[in-house]
Amino acid sequence: MLRFVTQYFGFLKAVPGAALVFDAWLRIATLFTHPDVSGYIDSIEREVSGWDNICTGIHKYGGMRFNCAKHELGHIHSNGLLDMLFTREMKKQLMAADDRVTHHHVFKNTGWISFYIKTEADAAYAVNLLKMAYDGYKVKESVSACN
Amino acid sequence: MNRIFTPKVNGYLFSNAMGFAIIWLSKYLSGPSGNGVLIFSEFTIVPFLIGFISAWFWRNDKIDSMTLVSRCVLTCFIAIMLTVILFAEGIICLVIVSPLVWSFIVAGAFTGRAMFRHNNDTLNVSVVLALLVVFVIDSTSVHHYENMVADKIVINAPVSKVWKNVVAYKRNTSPDKYWLFKMGMPSPVESTTEGYYVGAKRKCIFSNGYVFDEKIVVYQENKNLTFDITEQPRDPEIMGHIDILRGQFLLQDNGNNTTTVIGNSWYRLYVFPVWYYDIWAKSITRNVHLRVMEHIKQISEVK
């Protein structure tokens, strides 16, 4: 459903609040179709929020956003779709290592990846991905602090 | 007292109280000039605010997403019940409006939950104020929306036979197929006319006894019957929120003893947002058409 809406109604994201409402519909639909997924999202949120300098918020296109200082680590749409930005090289490696990691559902030729959280194992892998990005930012921060 | 007014109860209570106070205020301010129009903010901004305010009361509760959605269901149910009591809305109206209200309450509650974690009062107050500004602008704007629905059916009977049944038809006793008609929404069952000429009065009678008074404005035998609706019942159900303005039957002789009948209806909506209610209006109008046209087909095809 998300793919269909972003493909044909993506222009509506410019309407203030439209993405929020769409995400609410996605959440409601997911609660009926995959009730476990919202629990997995909650557990990821609990886990990631506990890391230093992490804050959560609403993503501008709907879903929950995880920020490390001012950098976005990734965001999870309410149907369990995790979107994250890596370098293209890292994206290639991640996609080669695990076929659950795919091109971003909209921005294919970028460093963005998409990862569907459907099971507990997916949730654990999602936390790993976020940790990877988190550690990457921490390394960058320490390098820039040294310089 | 603190045992009763727990944050959980306050979330239900104060959010709805605030929501209904805003609606009442908007109705009071718009006065009779409001013309019974229900603006889009009442179905979007207000439920969003209800969810948002609930989330403020529940901000310290450690609740998961499923529980928050369940609480939104109850909040929505309270809002719907208050609508029944305060505004005497009908059940079918509420069935139609519930998905819209519920989704905006959910959107508001989750937005609130994410925002209230940061204790950024300036941002929180700004969001509420921005929503109220949108509400005021929407309340003071002109709302007018008219649309038309057209449907077509082919009848295996000559045009002269079909025409007779188009102008007036005997009582339709077949069971309703459309789910809203089955739920109790009145469906058209009979049409009568005082004559076959322009200016003649026509009546469309509905299953619950409602009568739409009509006047024939175009009468071209075997071709075009157009009528204006001069009087329609005011009912707490859907009929208070939509006016059928004009109806039309266009007949085309296909030359092979069959007739194509096109049914057109023009209506005006009094409920907004149009992107939501027009879907329902089209569906209902279409099913009114189909019920009438299928009945005309059935009685015209009898040998």
Q: Are residues B84 and B168 in the same domain?
A: no
- Residue A38, pLDDT above cutoff 70: yes
CATH of the domain at A26: 3.90.1150
Domain count, chain A: 1
Q: Are residues B269 and B172 in the same domain?
A: yes
How close is the nearest chain B Cα to the Cα of A6, in Å?
18
The mean pLDDT value of chain B amounts to: 89
Percent of chain B with pLDDT over 70: 95
Contact B106 A28 (CB under 8 A): yes
Q: What is the pLDDT of residues A42-57, one digit of tens each?
A: 999 999 999 998 988 8
Is A135 at the interface with chain B, CB within 8 A?
Answer: no
Q: What is the pLDDT of residues B26-60, one digit of tens each?
A: 777 766 656 678 888 889 999 999 999 999 999 99
Is B98 part of a structural domain of the chain?
Answer: yes
Chain A residue with minimal CA distance to B104? A21
- Domain end, chosen from B78, B105, B140, is at B140
Q: Are residues B122 and B167 in the same domain?
A: no
Is B114 at the interface with chain A, CB within 8 A?
Answer: yes
Chain B residue with minimal CA distance to A43? B64
> What angle, 0 to 180 degrees and rounded to 10, lies between the N-to-C axes of helices B91-116 and B121-140?
150
Q: What is the pLDDT of residues A55-102, one digit of tens each?
A: 888 888 888 999 988 789 999 999 999 999 999 999 999 999 999 999
Q: Is B90 helix (H, G, I), strand (E, B) or coil?
A: coil
Q: What is the ipTM of this complex?
A: 0.78
Is A17 at the interface with chain B, CB within 8 A?
Answer: yes
Could you list the residue range(s) of the whole structural domain that residue A53 is in? 2-6+14-146
Is B50 part of a structural domain of the chain?
Answer: yes
Predicted pLDDT at B301? 94
Chain A residue with minimal CA distance to B112? A58
Which residues make Cβ contacts (< 8 Å) with residue A94, sequence separation at least 6? A86, A101, A113, A129
Between positions 20 and 59 of A, the ones with CB within 8 A of B are 20-21, 23-25, 27-28, 31, 35, 38-39, 41-42, 55-58
- Residue A147, pLDDT above cutoff 60: no
- Domain end, chosen from B110, B140, B170, is at B140
- Residue B123, pLDDT above cutoff 80: no
Whole-number Å distance between alpha carbons of B96 and B274: 13
Q: Are residues B129 and B210 in the same domain?
A: no
Predicted pLDDT at B5? 84
Predicted pLDDT at B1? 63
Whole-number Å distance between alpha carbons of A142 and B54: 41
Q: Are residues B162 and B134 in the same domain?
A: no
How close is the nearest chain B Cα to the Cα of A146, in Å?
30
Q: Are residues B126 and B163 in the same domain?
A: no
Chain B residue with minimal CA distance to A38? B65
- First CA to last CA distance, chain A: 47
Q: Are residues B136 and B178 in the same domain?
A: no
Question: DSSP secondary-structure letter at B251?
Answer: E
Could you list the residue range(s) of the whole structural domain that residue B80 is in? 7-140
Question: DSSP secondary-structure letter at B204?
Answer: E
- Residues from chain A that touch B107, judged by Cβ atoms under 8 A, are 17, 20-21, 23-24
- Domain end, chosen from B84, B106, B140, is at B140
- Residue A129, pLDDT above cutoff 90: yes
Q: What is the pLDDT of residues B131-144, one digit of tens each?
A: 888 888 888 888 89
Q: Are B267 and B288 in contact (CB under 8 A)?
A: no
Is B2 part of a structural domain of the chain?
Answer: no
| Residue A117 host element (H or E) | none
- Residues from chain A that touch B103, judged by Cβ atoms under 8 A, are 21, 24-25, 28
Domain count, chain B: 2
Is B251 part of a structural domain of the chain?
Answer: yes
Contact A38 B64 (CB under 8 A): yes
pLDDT band at B248 (very low <50, low <70, confident <90, very high): very high
Give me the residue label for tokens 């009763």.
B4
* Tokens encoding B107: 């959107």
Q: Are residues B108 and B159 in the same domain?
A: no
Percent of chain A with pLDDT over 70: 88
pLDDT band at B290 (very low <50, low <70, confident <90, very high): very high
Q: Are residues B121 and B82 in the same domain?
A: yes
Across the interface, of A17, A20, A55, the residue whose CB is closest to B118 is A55
Is B164 part of a structural domain of the chain?
Answer: yes
Q: Are residues B93 and B190 in the same domain?
A: no
Predicted pLDDT at B51? 95
Whole-number Å distance between alpha carbons of B275 and B189: 30
